[in-house]
C-alpha cells in the first residue's frame, strides 16, 4: 500500500502582518512534519503555494528550507500552478522551484498539429502513480484551455492515475462563489482514480459518473480575511491523506491547527453610532483574547451617525494590548442611514470587487474586445491582482514600477498599442 498527501491553497505571504506570516510558516512546517511522520510516498500541491507569483524572497527562503525537509526524507513534491502562481510574464516562482529540483511541475503540455492541448504524464518512480494536471490560467482563459484538451489520450492511459487541477467545477460550485468562472465536469478527462482539486477555499468531496473521487482540501491555512473568519468559527484546515495500490483504498482528512481562534458577531440594527461604539467596547472587554486570533463581525443599519464614528483602530489596539495575536474586524455589513456611500452587495472583498467592475465596465469606452463586458471584468480583476504585488526586498522603486507596468500591459494585452505609442 502506498500513500500521498494532497494539499492546496497554502497562500504563503498573503498577509503583511508578521504574526499571521509566522502562523502561515508554522502551518506549512507542521504539515511537512506530519507528512514525514505518516511516511507518505509523495506530496501533491494543487496550486497557490504562494499568494503572488513573485513573492518576497524571505518568504521563498523560509519555504524552501521547509520543503527541503521532504527532500531529505526522499518524499518528492509534485505541483501545478494556482491562479496566484500564474504570471503574465510567463515565469513564476513555481518554475524556478522546478528548475532547482525542489518540486516537479506536473503540467507538461504541448500543442499538436491540430491545435489540441496534449498533457504528458509524470510517473512517480516509487509508486508508479501517473500524474497529469491543468494549471490555472489568466482569469477568463481556463475554460478555453480545457476546450482544447485531448481528453481521449489521457483516458486511454493505463495504471493508477491522478488529475490535478486548480479550478472550480460548474456542477459543484458553492453558492458563495456564484460569480466565479468555473469549468464543467465534462471538460475533465474521465476514469482517473483521483481528481486533486484546488482553488475552492472549502473542504469538499464529490463523485460524478466517470469521475469517482473529486477532492478539494480547502486552504491549508488562509488566503483572505474570510478564511481567517471561518477558521476562527471552528472550520478545520489541513490536507488529505490518500492510501492506494491499484485504486484508492482510503481517503482521510488530516487536521492542521493553524491557531486558536475566537469569533463573535454583533448586530447594531437600529442603534446610533455612539451607542453601538459603547456596546461594542463593553462586549469586547468581556472576551478572553490572550493568545488568540480574534475575528469580530459587526452588522446592521445604524439609525444615526456614521460607521466611521466607531474607532475600530482603537478597539484593535485594546485587544492587542490584552494579548490578542491578531484582530480582524469584518465591517462589510455595517451601514448607516445618515451617511450611506454607494455600497455594492457582498461581504467578501473579492466578490465586492467583481460586482463593482460588472456595474461599471459599460461606462468605459474602449475599442479592444478583451476590455469589454465579461472579458473586461476578468481583465480588470487580473490587473488589480497584478497591481497589488509588493515591492521586493532590494528592488528599486524604478524597477518595481517597471515590473508592474510591464505586467499590466501584458495583462491588458496592449503591448502593440504601447509599442506604437512609444515610437511616435
Structural domains of the chain ordered from first start: 2-255 (3.60.21.10), 261-336 (no CATH), 349-423 (no CATH)
Active site residues: 84
Provide the pLDDT for residue 295: 95
What whole-number distance in Å separates Cα of residue 366 and Cα of residue 379? 13
What whole-number distance in Å separates Cα of residue 47 and Cα of residue 57? 19
252: β partners: 241
Q: What is the pTM for the complete model shown?
A: 0.80
Contacts of 117-122 spanning 24+ positions with Cβ under 8 A: 117/145, 117/148, 117/149, 117/150, 118/150, 118/153, 119/149, 119/150, 119/153, 119/154, 121/157, 121/161, 122/78
**For 310, what's the count of Cα atoms within 13 Å in the CB-facing half-sphere?**
25
Per-residue CA distances from 281 to 262, 271, 287, 296, 298 (Å): 16, 14, 10, 12, 12
Residue 308 is classified by DSSP as G
Provide the pLDDT for residue 99: 93
Provide the pLDDT for residue 422: 46
Provide the pLDDT for residue 344: 47
What whole-number distance in Å separates Cα of residue 47 and Cα of residue 68? 18
What whole-number distance in Å separates Cα of residue 314 and Cα of residue 413? 44
Summary count for the chain: helices (H), strands (E): 12, 19
What whole-number distance in Å separates Cα of residue 378 and Cα of residue 354? 8
**Among the listed residues 137, 176, 203, the one whose alpha carbon sits nearest the alpha carbon of residue 351:** 176
Per-residue CA distances from 212 to 141, 191, 207, 394 (Å): 26, 8, 5, 49
What whole-number distance in Å separates Cα of residue 19 and Cα of residue 127? 39
Provide the pLDDT for residue 226: 85
What whole-number distance in Å separates Cα of residue 47 and Cα of residue 136? 8
Provide the pLDDT for residue 386: 66
Say how many C-beta atoms besides its own lie within 10 A of residue 389's C-beta. 17
Handedness of CA 349, 13, 237, 133 (dihedral sign): positive
What whole-number distance in Å separates Cα of residue 347 and Cα of residue 329? 12
Cα angle value 210/240/213 (rounded, 5°) = 5
- Dihedral through CA 53, CA 58, CA 64, CA 67, nearest 10? -90
Handedness of CA 233, 11, 137, 412 (dihedral sign): positive
Provide the pLDDT for residue 358: 59
**For 248, what's the count of Cα atoms within 13 Å in the CB-facing half-sphere?**
21
Q: Contact 243/224 with Cβ under 8 angstroms?
A: no
DSSP string covering 141-195 = -HHHHHHTB-HHHHHH--SSEEEEEESEEGGG--GGGTTS-EE-GGGSPS--SEE
What whole-number distance in Å separates Cα of residue 1 and Cα of residue 338? 66
What whole-number distance in Å separates Cα of residue 143 and Cα of residue 184? 8
**Among the listed residues 204, 197, 188, the one whose alpha carbon sits nearest the alpha carbon of residue 8:** 197
DSSP string covering 196-254 = EEES-SS-EEEEETTEEEEEE---SS-SSHHHHHHHHHT---EEEEEEESSSEEEEEEE
Q: Mean pLDDT per 10-residue run, the chain (424 residues)? A: 97 89 94 98 96 88 96 97 76 89 92 88 97 78 81 95 94 79 92 96 94 96 85 95 97 95 95 94 96 95 91 95 95 79 51 60 61 67 67 62 68 58 48
What whole-number distance in Å separates Cα of residue 401 and Cα of residue 408? 10
Amino acid at each position: 500500500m502506498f500513500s500521498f498527501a494532497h494539499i492546496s491553497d497554502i497562500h504563503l505571504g498573503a498577509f503583511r502582518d508578521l504574526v499571521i506570516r509566522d502562523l502561515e510558516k508554522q502551518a506549512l512546517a507542521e504539515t511537512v512534519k506530519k507528512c514525514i511522520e505518516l511516511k507518505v510516498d509523495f506530496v501533491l500541491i494543487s496550486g497557490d503555494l504562494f499568494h503572488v507569483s513573485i513573492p518576497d524572497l524571505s518568504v521563498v527562503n523560509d519555504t524552501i528550507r521547509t520543503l527541503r525537509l521532504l527532500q531529505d526524507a526522499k518524499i518528492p513534491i509534485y505541483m501545478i500552478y494556482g491562479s496566484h502562481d500564474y504570471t503574465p510574464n510567463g515565469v513564476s516562482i513555481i518554475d524556478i522551484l522546478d528548475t532547482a529540483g525542489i518540486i516537479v511541475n506536473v503540467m507538461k503540455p504541448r500543442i499538436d498539429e491540430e491545435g489540441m492541448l496534449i498533457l504528458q504524464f509524470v510517473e512517480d518512480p516509487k509508486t508508479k502513480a501517473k500524474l497529469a494536471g491543468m494549471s490555472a490560467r489568466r482569469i477568463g482563459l481556463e475554460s478555453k484551455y480545457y476546450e482544447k484538451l485531448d481528453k481521449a489520450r489521457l483516458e486511454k492511459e493505463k495504471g493508477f492515475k491522478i488529475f490535478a487541477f486548480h479550478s472550480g467545477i460548474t456542477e459543484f460550485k458553492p453558492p458563495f462563489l456564484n460569480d466565479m468562472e468555473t469549468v464543467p465536469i465534462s471538460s475533465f478527462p474521465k476514469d482517473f482514480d483521483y481528481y486533486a482539486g484546488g482553488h475552492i477555499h472549502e473542504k469538499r468531496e464529490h463523485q460524478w459518473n466517470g469521475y469517482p473521487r473529486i477532492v478539494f482540501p480547502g486552504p491549508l491555512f488562509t488566503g483572505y480575511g474570510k478564511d481567517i473568519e471561518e477558521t476562527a468559527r471552528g472550520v478545520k484546515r489541513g490536507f488529505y491523506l490518500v492510501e492506494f495500490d491499484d485504486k484508492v483504498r482510503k481517503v482521510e482528512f488530516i487536521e492542521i491547527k493553524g491557531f486558536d481562534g475566537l469569533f463573535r458577531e454583533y448586530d447594531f440594527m437600529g442603534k446610533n453610532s455612539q451607542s453601538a461604539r459603547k456596546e461594542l467596547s463593553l462586549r469586547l472587554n468581556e472576551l478572553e483574547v490572550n493568545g488568540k486570533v480574534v475575528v469580530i463581525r459587526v452588522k446592521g443599519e445604524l439609525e444615526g451617525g456614521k460607521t466611521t464614528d466607531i474607532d475600530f483602530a482603537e478597539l484593535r489596539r485594546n485587544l492587542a494590548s490584552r494579548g490578542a495575536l491578531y484582530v480582524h474586524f469584518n465591517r462589510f455589513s455595517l451601514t448607516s442611514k445618515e451617511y450611506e456611500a454607494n455600497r455594492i452587495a457582498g461581504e467578501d472583498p473579492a466578490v465586492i470587487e467583481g460586482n463593482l467592475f460588472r456595474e461599471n465596465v459599460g461606462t468605459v469606452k474602449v475599442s479592444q474586445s478583451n476590455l469589454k463586458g465579461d472579458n473586461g471584468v476578468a481583465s480588470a480583476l487580473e490587473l488589480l491582482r497584478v497591481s497589488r504585488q509588493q515591492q521586493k526586498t532590494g528592488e528599486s522603486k524604478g524597477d518595481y514600477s517597471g515590473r508592474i507596468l510591464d505586467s499590466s500591459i501584458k495583462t491588458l494585452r496592449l503591448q502593440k498599442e504601447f509599442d506604437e505609442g512609444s515610437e511616435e
